[in-house]
């Protein structure tokens, strides 16, 4: 495994792979890697000749300076894990390497990026589009792998790919969970013991909400009842819970309003000061 710190270096190795006609799988990450990332890398390893993983805490997608300052950096452990997974190239650049000048590009991502995370974190998805488009432009991957925990992010990236015309297959990979149901996240390390103990209630109540649908409640009612149930757990406070079309991310009023990708409930919950997100398919 080779660690590459410059765009020029990355460009050279992937150009070489492409010249040889090899397929390239890209797994973009912000480091602090866990088993969720490992599942993306393992899938990329199975499906491609060459696997590139980027480890870069992208400043332009943080709309909160404190969140950026406290985001975990675990480069050595990340490199060790990626080596074990059989990754070929790890791209670990500095912010100055990626952004020698401020990136002023504004992506017209439209409604898919305006709701939920887009509404709560202004500028966040534009920052994601900036870094992912830069990575796609350099690596020109055959396939790129993203976790479904950030469900809306995948929809936004698909939109960015349409706008920019990248020839890449976006592969969405299922959420990996702890045994008690908590979705794996780099932010979980920030949970206190008390917060960690209540956090699995998020998944428990999302699963319970499937029954509400069976009982005949509408998407809006299921969302409201589930949000109330989460907020009734001491130590949990929702920012939003919305049931949306799984492709357009627009809220649905009736179950039959969801398109071919179905409906998904997306939640953001503050747990002991840590912002956790999760989702469930209906």
For the sheet containing 263-271, what is the strand order?
236-245, 263-271, 274-281
Q: Of these, 17, 30, 81, 229, which contacts ligand PAF (CB under 6 A)?
A: 30
Q: Of these, 58, 130, 152, 201, which contacts ligand PAF (CB under 6 A)?
A: 58
> Which one of 34, 37, 73, 124 is the catalytic residue?
37
Q: Of these, 29, 48, 201, 268, which contacts ligand PAF (CB under 6 A)?
A: 29
Least distance to ligand PAF, CB of residue 41, Å: 13
Q: Is 152 in the site for ligand PAF (CB under 6 A)?
A: no
Tell me which stretch binds ligand PAF (CB under 6 A): 22-30, 84-92, 200-208, 240-248. Answer: 22-30
* In the chain, alpha helices (H): 7-19, 35-47, 65-70, 75-84, 95-98, 117-120, 124-139, 151-164, 193-198, 201-214, 219-231
Q: Give the interface size with ligand PAF as a residue count (CB under 6 A).
A: 10
SS3 189: helix
Gap between the Cα atoms of 54 and 66, Å rounded? 23
Q: Of these, 132, 222, 236, 280, which contacts ligand PAF (CB under 6 A)?
A: 132
Q: Is 61 in the site for ligand PAF (CB under 6 A)?
A: yes
Pairing assessment for the beta strands 89-91 and 263-271 based on DSSP bridges = unpaired
Q: Of these, 128, 195, 206, 236, which contacts ligand PAF (CB under 6 A)?
A: 128
Closer to ligand PAF by CB, 229 or 249: give it: 249
SS3 163: helix
Tell me which stretch binds ligand PAF (CB under 6 A): 28-36, 165-173, 177-185, 228-236. Answer: 28-36
Query: Has 37 been annotated as catalytic?
Result: yes
Q: Is 10 in the site for ligand PAF (CB under 6 A)?
A: no
Q: Which two tokens stand for residue 119?
A: 């509404």
Gap between the Cα atoms of 224 and 243, Å rounded? 10
- Tell me the helices (H) and strands (E) count for the chain, helix number first: 11, 9
Q: Is 117 in the site for ligand PAF (CB under 6 A)?
A: no
Closer to ligand PAF by CB, 29 or 201: give it: 29
For the chain, helix, strand, coil in percent to 5 are 45, 20, 35
Residues that bind ligand PAF (CB under 6 A): 28-30, 58, 61, 128, 131-132, 150, 153
């Amino acid at each position: 495994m080779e660690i590459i710190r410059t765009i020029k270096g990355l460009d050279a190795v992937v150009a070489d792979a492409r010249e040889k006609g090899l397929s390239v799988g890209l797994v973009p990450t912000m480091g602090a890697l866990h088993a969720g990332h490992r599942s993306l890398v393992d899938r990329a390893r199975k499906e491609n000749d060459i696997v590139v993983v980027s480890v870069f805490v992208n400043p332009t997608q943080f709309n909160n300076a404190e969140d950026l300052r406290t985001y975990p950096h675990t480069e050595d452990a990340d490199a060790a894990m990626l080596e074990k997974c059989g990754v070929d190239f790890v791209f670990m650049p500095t912010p100055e390497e990626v952004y020698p000048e401020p990136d002023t590009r504004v992506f017209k991502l439209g409604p898919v990026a305006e709701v939920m995370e887009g509404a709560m974190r202004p500028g966040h998805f534009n920052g994601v589009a900036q870094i992912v488009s830069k990575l796609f432009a350099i690596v020109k991957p055959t396939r790129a792998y993203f976790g479904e925990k950030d469900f809306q992010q995948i929809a936004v990236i698909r939109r960015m790919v349409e706008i920019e015309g990248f020839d890449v297959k976006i592969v969405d990979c299922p959420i990996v969970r702890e045994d008690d149901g908590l979705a794996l996240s780099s932010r979980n390390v920030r949970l206190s013991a008390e917060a960690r103990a209540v956090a699995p209630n998020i998944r428990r109540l999302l699963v319970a909400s499937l029954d509400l649908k069976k009982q005949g409640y509408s998407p809006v009612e299921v969302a409201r009842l589930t949000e109330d149930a989460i907020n009734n757990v001491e130590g949990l406070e929702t920012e939003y819970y919305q049931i949306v079309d799984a492709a357009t991310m627009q809220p649905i009023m009736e179950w039959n309003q969801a398109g071919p990708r179905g409906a998904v409930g997306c939640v953001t919950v503050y747990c002991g000061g840590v912002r956790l997100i999760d989702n469930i398919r209906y």
